[in-house]
Amino acid sequence: MAKATGFMEFQRELPSDRTPGERVGDWMEFHEHFDDGKLQRQGARCMDCGTPFCHTGVLIRGVTLGCPIHNLIPEWNDLVYRGQWRQAYERLQKTNNFPEFTGRVCPAPCEGSCTLGINEPPVTIKTIEQAIIDRAFTEGWVVARLPLSRTGKRVAVVGSGPAGLACADQLNQAGHAVTVFERADRFGGLLVYGIPNMKLDKSIVKRRLDLLMAEGIKFVNNVEIGRNYPAEKLLGEFDAAVLCCGATQPRDLTVEGRELSGIHFAMEYLHGNTKHLLDRQHGDVQVDGGFAYPYITAEGKDVVVIGGGDTGTDCVATALRQGCRGLVQLEILPCPPDSRPPDNPWPEWPRIFRTDYGQEECQALRGADPRRFAVMTRRFLGDARERVCGVETVQVEWVTGGEGRASPRPLPGSEQTHPADLVLLAMGFLGPEETILKQLDLASDARGNIQTNNGKYATRLPGLFAAGDMRRGQSLVVWAIQEGCGAAREVDRYLMGISDLP
C-alpha cells in the first residue's frame, strides 16, 4: 500500500488543462503534466482497502466494474508514492500493452470502482498511469523486445486498432510470425482516425507502431480483406487468422430529410479531418485505401451534433477548432443527476453529469454548454439546393411501460427548429460491416456481432478467430486490448496445443 493515512491527508487533484482559448487554436493535446511531488501525493491516496475493486474488470448489469485488463493499480500507486518509477513501469507493462493509449482516452472505470470513491473523490489512477508510461518512454525504459525464438507459424491479424495491435503484440512475443492488414493508409484504426489529435497525439501512436515493427511484426496497409484481398485466402496463406475489424457500421437516423446533403456520420467527419491534418493537404476529398473520405469543414457553419457520447464530444471540439458559427449538441436521454442515483451504487461506473473537454470549450468560448438533453430529432429541413438548413426537434419525457422498459414520449408544444448547415450523426455503432462475414459465411449474434464459440474467440471455421468490438460490440479501448490478448491466447493454444500467454 501507499501512505497509510494518505487518503485522509491529501485531496484528489488533477493536472490543469491548457485554457480553452489557447487550445482551440491548435490540435495539440490539451492536458498539462504534474510534477513528481504532486504525483507522489496522489499515489499516497491509494488506501489499504483490503479488497481493491479497481482492477476487478467484470460486467454487472452491462456496466464495467474496475479495469478489464486487471492492472496492478495499488502496486504501482505505491511505487510512485515511493519514487520507484522504473519498478512502477515494470508493474504496469505486465498487464497493459499500451498504457500510453489508455492513460489518455480510457474513461477510467477503475476510478469508478475505487474503494475511496465510496465517500470521497477516487484516486487519480488514470493520471498516474499516463505519468508512468510517459516517464518510461522519456527515460528510455521502453525498448523493442525481440522473441527468443520463432515457432514457424504464420498468423494474420485483420485490423490495426487496439484489439488488433494487442493481439499482434502477444502473438509476436509468443514467437509467431504476425502480419497485420489495415485497409486505411495509416495503421492504428480508431486510435488514429477515430480519436482526434487533441485527445491522442498521433505521434504517440506512431511511436508504439515503430516499436511493434522493430519487434518483427509486419504491417500491410491499403488492403481491405473482402475487397482487394479475398477473405478465403487468409486461411490458405496463414496458419491462423484473427478478425479485429471493429464495429464500424454507424447507427443511422431515418427521419424525413435524411437524404439532404450536409448530413454526415461522425466518423466520416473525424476521419477526414485527422487525415487532412496529418497529410497537410487541401481539397474536398482525401483518398484512403481506395475509399473517398471527404474533408468536411465546419468553418462558418451552424453545426448540429446528434449524440451525447464521447464521439459527439469529439465532433463538438473539432467543429470549434474549425471555426464553426453556431453549435448545438442533441441528446435524446435526460440529463444525468449530479450524484449517483439509488440504482447506480458503488462500485458501478457512476452515471452522473459530466462536462467533457468539448463542452467546456464551448461554454468558455460561446457562453453556454452546447448540450440539449431529452431532445428527439423529428426531421431535417432543406433549402432549394437540397442542402440541410435546419433540424426540427421536440422535447421528450421518458416513461416506463408495462414491461418495465422506458421509452421517449414527445411533449406537445415543445417543438423547436435549430439552424444547421452541417449535421453530424454520433449515435454509436450497430456492429461490424458485413463484407467479411458474407464472404466467409460467418454467423452473427442477436446484436449483429460476429458469433464465436463459447466465448473463446473461435469462429465456426478452424483457425479463424475474432476479437474486439467486432465480437463484443462497441466498447472501450481497454476492453479491446483485453479482447486482443484473449484471442491471442486462444490462437497460440490452437497452434501449439498449449499456451503460456496470460
Q: How confident is the model at residue 291 (pLDDT cuts 50, 70, 90)?
A: low
Q: What percent of the chain has pLDDT over 90?
A: 86
Which comes out higher in pLDDT, residue 155 or 59? Answer: 155
In 52-171 the beta strands, taken as DSSP E runs, fall at: 58-60, 63-65, 154-158
The phi, psi pair for 374, rounded to 5°, reads 55, 50
Helix 36-44 with 73-81: angle, nearest 10 deg: 130
Q: What percent of the chain has pLDDT over 70?
A: 97
Q: Kindly list the distances between the CA atom of residue 250 and the CA atoms of 177, 184, 247, 265, 431, in Å, as whole numbers in the listed order.
A: 33, 18, 8, 7, 8
Flag whether pLDDT at 283 surpasses 60. Answer: no
| Strand, helix or coil for residue 179 | strand
Flag whether pLDDT at 315 surpasses 80. Answer: yes
Flag whether pLDDT at 398 surpasses 70. Answer: yes
Flag whether pLDDT at 468 surpasses 50. Answer: yes
In 434-481 the beta strands, taken as DSSP E runs, fall at: 464-466
Render pLDDT for 343-380 as a digit per residue (tens, 0 to 9).
899 999 999 999 999 999 999 999 999 999 999 999 99
Which comes out higher in pLDDT, residue 417 or 47? Answer: 417
Q: What is the pLDDT of residue 280?
A: 78
Of the ranges 5-14, 59-68, 387-396, 493-502, which one carries the lowest mean pLDDT score?
Answer: 59-68
Q: Are 128 and 39 in contact (CB under 8 A)?
A: yes
Q: What is the pLDDT of residue 294?
A: 77
Flag whether pLDDT at 60 surpasses 90. Answer: no
Flag whether pLDDT at 289 surpasses 60. Answer: no
Q: pTM of the predicted model, to two decimals?
A: 0.95
Q: What is the DSSP string of 124-152?
A: -HHHHHHHHHHHHHHHT-------S---S
Render pLDDT for 433-451 as a digit per residue (tens, 0 to 9).
988 999 999 999 888 899 9
Q: How confident is the model at residue 402 (pLDDT cuts 50, 70, 90)?
A: confident
**Residue spans per domain, the chain:** 6-139, 154-249+430-496, 252-427
Render pLDDT for 214-260 as a digit per residue (tens, 0 to 9).
999 999 999 999 889 999 899 999 999 999 999 999 999 999 999 99
Residue among 407, 416, 406, 413 at smallest CA distance from 378: 416
Q: Which helix (H) or strand (E) holds 303?
A: strand 302-306
Q: What is the pLDDT of residue 85?
A: 98
Which residues, 6 or more positions from 161, have their beta carbon under 8 angstroms from its beta carbon?
Answer: 188, 189, 190, 191, 244, 246, 468, 469, 480
Phi-psi region of 461 (alpha: psi -120 to 50; beta: other; left: phi over 0): beta
Same topology between domain 6-139 and domain 154-249+430-496:
no
Q: Please state, in angstroms and rounded to a whole number, the distance separating the CA atoms of residues 399 and 377.
A: 18
- The CA-to-CA distance between both ends of the chain, in Å, stands at 25
The phi, psi pair for 410, rounded to 5°, reads -60, 145
Flag whether pLDDT at 1 surpasses 70. Answer: no
Q: What is the pLDDT of residue 286?
A: 47
Q: What is the pLDDT of residue 292?
A: 54
Query: How buried is 461 (Cβ within 10 angstroms: 0-12 exposed, 13-18 middle, 19+ buried)?
Result: middle
Flag whether pLDDT at 13 surpasses 80. Answer: yes
Q: How confident is the model at residue 456 (pLDDT cuts 50, 70, 90)?
A: confident
Residues 252-427: name the CATH superfamily: FAD/NAD(P)-binding domain (3.50.50.60)
CATH 3.50.50.60 matches 154-249+430-496: yes
| Strand, helix or coil for residue 314 | helix
Render pLDDT for 218-228 as a digit per residue (tens, 0 to 9).
999 999 998 89
The phi, psi pair for 127, rounded to 5°, reads -60, -45
Cis peptide before 162 (omega within 30 of 0): no
Q: Which CATH class for the 6-139 domain?
A: mainly alpha
In 350-477 the beta strands, taken as DSSP E runs, fall at: 371-372, 375-382, 388-400, 406-410, 416-419, 422-425, 429-431, 464-466
